[in-house]
């Protein structure tokens, strides 16, 4: 099954990019074939996501009640914040695919716009992707993000939290970590536009 998925994804990616890079014009049939390849690429990304085997031996996302694995984020001033040092306060850890993409930008800016309400409630936000620390700093500066981002280029954090990785980066999933350091709620497959308000309502009822 996974071998088929890998081959389908690779075929879709190569054909689609090859046709897009052909140059000036494509025939109608080539355009249709390119679109089909793009759809195959998307379908393989969505349908072939493997369930993550975590370092603790479990499979899939961490469950509510599990202890949240530690992580360290860096904000736009260079200040580092460690999740384990926030005991006594809630925190939001949201995984997302890629800096600068439309959905990820929309989600980050929604958290930014709600930041003052999060701060008043004593809730810290961490955004996690596999982008480099340098890309994170550019993303923070471009969109004036007031919260820390976590660079997980190795994917170790995603595996520890049980978050799957697709062709375009991590799956979009958010965790609410309670004041006791345990996972209080999970949001898989979120709507980037309304998610920040939804999470705040749960974090500071």
The set of catalytic residues is 104
Residue 118 Cα to chain centre, angstroms: 20
Residue 160: CB partners within 8 Å, gap ≥ 6?
A: 54, 55, 56, 69
Please give the Cα distance from 57 to 98 (Å, whole number).
27
Q: Which residues partner with 182 through β-bridges?
A: 67
Residue 165: name the closest of 64, 57, 71, 46 by CA: 46
Torsions phi, psi of 187, nearest 5? Answer: -120, 100
């Amino acid at each position: 099954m996974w071998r088929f998925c890998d081959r389908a994804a690779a075929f879709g990616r190569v054909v689609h990019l090859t046709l897009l890079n052909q140059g000036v014009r494509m025939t109608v049939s080539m355009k249709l074939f390119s679109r089909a390849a793009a759809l195959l690429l998307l379908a393989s990304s969505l349908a072939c996501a493997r369930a993550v085997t975590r370092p603790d031996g479990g499979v899939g996302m961490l469950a509510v009640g599990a202890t949240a694995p530690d992580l360290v984020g860096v904000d736009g001033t260079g200040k580092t914040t460690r999740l384990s040092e926030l005991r006594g306060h809630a925190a939001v850890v949201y995984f997302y695919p890629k800096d600068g993409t439309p959905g990820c930008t929309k989600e980050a800016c929604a958290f930014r716009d709600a930041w003052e309400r999060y701060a008043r409630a004593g809730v810290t936000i961490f955004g996690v992707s596999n982008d480099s620390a340098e890309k994170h700093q550019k993303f923070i500066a471009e969109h004036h993000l007031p919260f820390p981002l976590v660079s997980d280029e190795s994917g170790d954090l995603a595996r520890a939290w049980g978050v799957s990785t697709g062709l375009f980066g991590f799956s979009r999933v958010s965790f609410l970590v309670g004041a006791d350091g345990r996972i209080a709620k999970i949001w898989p497959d979120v709507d980037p536009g309304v998610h920040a308000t939804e999470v705040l309502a749960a974090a500071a009822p």
